Amino acid sequence: MSLDIDFYELLEVERGADDAKIKSSYRKLAMRWHPDRNPGDAEAEARFKAISEAYECLKDPQKRAAYDRYGHEAFKNGGMGNPGGGAGGHAGGFSDIGDIFETIFGSAFGGGGGRQQARRGADLRYDLEITLEDAFHGKAAEIEIDVSAKCEPCDGSGAEPGTGTRRCNLCGGHGQVRAQQGFFMVERTCPTCHGRGEVIEKPCRACGGEGRVDKPQTLEVTIPPGVDTGTRIRLAGKGEAGPFGAPAGDLYIFIHIRRHAVFERDGTTLITRVPITFTTAALGGEIEIPGLDGEHHTIAIPAGIQSGKQLRKRGAGMPVLQARGRGDMVMEIMVETPTKLTARQKELLRELQATETGDECPQSKGFFDRIKEAWNDLTD
């Protein structure tokens, strides 16, 4: 099959396809054209190699960018090495400048020769929305995610059950190949075994030799009391499975608290705005506020309280995450002026108004006294 066939056409995806779509399409095509499923079919074998080469290029962001810009010319004349993972043999380009540093200077730049272990699986993120009550009490939740998991038939090895691996012929089992680069003799990861030193004799039919498959999973998450928006819960080893039996990554649960009908939250403090009548504000009284703990908290209203005044109930707020104690509940008072009065109520208010001397409301009296002084200063 010609190497000049467009990689996107080979994988049957659009040029703007994301990594997940490219990966999914590749797996379907690899299963369809795998030589084990098409014994003796040279065309199927050629197509399998072509789509594998296309996927190796497009799954690498750097190689894909070069291909999108220059097409197949990007990989000719040592431009970036073979798109399928290297130039082959003992020659070829480097996938990035980091390969050169690692090869020439060794572990000081993160490299170091010899076999490489299969890379760990990717970490994943899951956003979970819960209620404020859930955040107060804590809860056990179940989540469903689609994630790459270890292939069960091959136990993550990538090899068909009953078969194994053999030493890589290209690198002799070292995982590295040498190449002459000007005055330097350098080493780079073997393009055939990708640094493992071994190759699979017969790829697993279930996973196409990768050692992992995509499947839905149901996981249990324990949410401790006191979590807040932005709290992160780590589930070790529940991320994406690593290739060829490598360890799985981690899953991080990010908590989001749903807006509550009564309370706002500031750390461990619960805040609520409480409207009271102006008679209660003037004479004082008591109010009851139901807390998230299931108790009714009685709050004393002092006589003469003003709008905006905050009353605090110690220990009635949110639990402290992973510690003892609780925050406070804060009630911000709002004095409500009545809008519907009976004739009798209006009569009583007029009687009250007739007895006012101005000393009953010192803030109001002080304000108008200042207005009067300012006016006198202007007219003098």
| DSSP states of 240-288 | PPPGGGPPP--EEEEEEEPPPSS-EEETTEEEEEEEEEHHHHHH-EEEE
For residue 57, give the amino acid letter: C
| 173-208 pLDDT, tens digit each | 888 888 766 666 777 888 878 778 888 888 898 888
Q: What is the mean pLDDT of residues 60-73?
A: 80
Residue 94: CB atoms within 10 A of its CB come to: 21
| 76-107 pLDDT, tens digit each | 654 554 554 433 333 333 334 334 334 333 43
207 is in an annotated binding site: yes
Q: What is the pLDDT of residue 92?
A: 34
151 is in an annotated binding site: yes
57 is in an annotated binding site: no
Closest CA to 126 of 107, 146, 111, 152: 146
Q: What is the pLDDT of residue 176?
A: 86
Q: How confident is the model at residue 364 (pLDDT cuts 50, 70, 90)?
A: low
The pLDDT of residue 251 is above 90: yes
The pLDDT of residue 3 is above 90: no
Percent of the chain with pLDDT over 90: 37
190 is in an annotated binding site: yes
361 is in an annotated binding site: no
Q: What is the pLDDT of residue 244?
A: 77
For residue 82, give the amino acid letter: N
- Helix count (H) and strand count (E) of the chain? 9, 15
Q: What is the pLDDT of residue 368?
A: 63
Q: How confident is the model at residue 118 (pLDDT cuts 50, 70, 90)?
A: low
Residues 90, 179 contacting (CB under 8 angstroms): yes
Q: Which of 198-212, 227-241, 322-336 has the least mean pLDDT?
A: 198-212
Closest CA to 205 of 269, 244, 255, 159: 159
Q: What is the pLDDT of residue 46?
A: 85
* Record: fold of 1-85: Helix Hairpins (1.10.287)
Percent of the chain with pLDDT over 70: 83
Q: Is 211 left (phi over 0), alpha (psi -120 to 50) or beta?
A: left
Q: How confident is the model at residue 225 (pLDDT cuts 50, 70, 90)?
A: very high
Q: Output the 3-class SS for 285-345.
A: EEEEEECCCCCEEEEEECCCCCCCCEEEECCCCCECCCCCCECCEEEEEEEECCCCCCHHH
Architecture of domain 264-376: Sandwich (2.60)
User: Where in the chain is CATH 1.10.287.110?
Assistant: 1-85
Residues 55, 22 contacting (CB under 8 angstroms): yes
Largest CA distance in the chain: 113
**271 — phi, psi (to 5°)?**
-120, 135
Q: How confident is the model at residue 266 (pLDDT cuts 50, 70, 90)?
A: very high
Q: What is the mean pLDDT of residues 312-329?
A: 94
Q: What is the pLDDT of residue 111?
A: 41
Q: Which residues pair with 223 in a beta bridge?
A: 139
256 versus 210: the higher-pLDDT residue is: 256
Q: What is the pLDDT of residue 82?
A: 52
Q: How confident is the model at residue 69 (pLDDT cuts 50, 70, 90)?
A: confident
Cα separation, 198 vs 371, whole angstroms: 91
Q: What is the pLDDT of residue 224?
A: 95
Q: What is the pLDDT of residue 77?
A: 53
User: Where in the chain is CATH 2.60.260.20?
Assistant: 264-376
